Amino acid sequence: MLASLITRALQLIFAIVVLALSVRAAKWQVYGSVPATTAFAAFTGGFAVLVSLVGIASIWISAIPAHHVDG
């Protein structure tokens, strides 16, 4: 459980960094529209934040509880 939590926390930190850097790079764009690679990096960072938060929540929440059947 601790290893999963540390891994998801690192994933969240790196995802926030990717999102912040790509949004900052998009704000630097002066002429024309934002390049597709920068927009995709922002999407990837945002999606990774969502995935890491769901992963952290899944450590404590179980959607399908385990049932033990005595045979």
Give how many domains the chain has, as a whole number.
Answer: 1
Whether this prediction's pTM lies above 0.75 is answered by yes
The residue count for the chain: 71
The encoded tokens of residue 46 equal 């945002």
**pLDDT-based confidence at residue 35 (cuts at 50, 70, 90):** very high
Single-letter residue type at 30: V
Average pLDDT of the chain to the nearest whole number: 90
Contact 6, 57 (CB under 8 A): no
Measuring CA to CA, how many Å separate 41 from each of 2, 19, 45, 62? 29, 7, 6, 31
| Structural domain harbouring 18 | 2-60
The sign one gets for the Cα dihedral 33, 49, 11, 52 is: negative
Task: Tell me, yes or no, whether 9 lies in a domain.
Answer: yes
Asked whether residue 33 is assigned to any structural domain, the reply reads: yes
**Is residue 18 included in any domain, yes or no?**
yes
Q: If pLDDT is split at 50, 70 and 90, which confidence band does 17 have? A: very high
The verdict on residue 26 lying in a domain is: yes
